[in-house]
Amino acid sequence: MSKRRSSTGKRCLRCKIHHTLCFCARIHEVATHARISIIMHHRERHLTSNTANLAKLVLPKCDVLLRGHPTTPFSADALKLNNEELPLFLFPHEDAIDLTPEYIESLNGRKIHLIVPDGTWSQAVKCYRREAGLTGIQCVKLPPGDPGRYRLRKSSDENRLSTYEAISRALGIIEQNHELQREMDVIFDTMVEAVIRGRTAFEN
């Protein structure tokens, strides 16, 4: 049995890291006005490299919904869309508009429901097109920025961000609060370092 497999039962149930590297004490909630729904591919649910799980721990108004399971299909009803919130789908599809401070100001204080696909790039691309009830939602994309700091998975494009990083940057714009973004990023860096240390200690 590999070290990776034998360590599975020793993970913290909350942060999903080996209990000797648990960083739950360094996780705290970051309040937002916006509501966040993450649509996660079911294969991501138990991966230590998945960052949507961290977003759920950090953001009180965040829900994680599963898709792609052959026996439990995703339903857009789970998003609980309503007339009081403007739903925005965070992904750079060809019809996405730029998520900028100017765009947020043009909404005149309307509440936002940020919907974010989670999984591999291929899974995220398919989410919006395949799941009924999503195609009528406006897509938004982040403006160009610094390369991501996600070092847990390889990517052919350094401009691609993890789900958590994308949410952090989007909320910095939506909430008009860059301190909120920095606060989230500190927690993210803690997770990345813990996973890397865990891989070195238990998965080689």
- Three-state SS at 68: coil
**Residues 56, 60, 66, 67, Cα dihedral to 10°:** -100
Q: Tell whether 127 is covered by a domain.
A: yes
Nearest to 145 by CA among 178, 113, 114: 178
Nearest to 9 by CA among 21, 22, 23, 19: 19
Least-confidence region, from 6-10, 16-20, 124-128, 193-197? 6-10
Instruction: Name the DSSP class of 153.
Output: S
Query: Residue 163 burial (CB < 10 Å; 0-12/13-18/19+)?
Result: buried
Looking at residue 157, what is its pLDDT? 53
Q: Tell whether 28 is covered by a domain.
A: no
Number of domains making up the chain? 1
Looking at residue 7, what is its pLDDT? 54
Q: Strands of 138-141's sheet, edge to edge? A: 62-67, 35-41, 111-118, 85-90, 138-141, 97-98
Question: What H or E segment, with its residue span, contains residue 37?
Answer: strand 35-41
Q: Tell whether 47 is covered by a domain.
A: yes
Which of 44-58, 143-157, 171-185 is modeled with the greatest confidence?
Answer: 171-185
Residue type, 151: R
Q: Tell whether 2 is covered by a domain.
A: no
Looking at residue 198, what is its pLDDT? 74
Least-confidence region, from 62-66, 68-72, 153-157? 153-157
Q: Tell whether 4 is covered by a domain.
A: no
Q: Tell whether 154 is covered by a domain.
A: no
pTM over 0.85: yes
Q: Distance from CA of residue 11 to its chain's centroid?
A: 21
Nearest to 104 by CA among 34, 182, 173: 173
Mean pLDDT to the nearest integer, 47-60? 91
CA distance linking residue 37 with residue 138, whole number of Å: 15
Q: Tell whether 25 is covered by a domain.
A: no
Q: Tell whether 23 is covered by a domain.
A: no
Domain extent, residue 173, equals 38-143+159-181
- Encode 83-106: b = buried (16+ Cβ within 10 Å), e = exposed: eebebbbbbbeeebeebeeeebee
CA distance linking residue 107 with residue 33, whole number of Å: 14
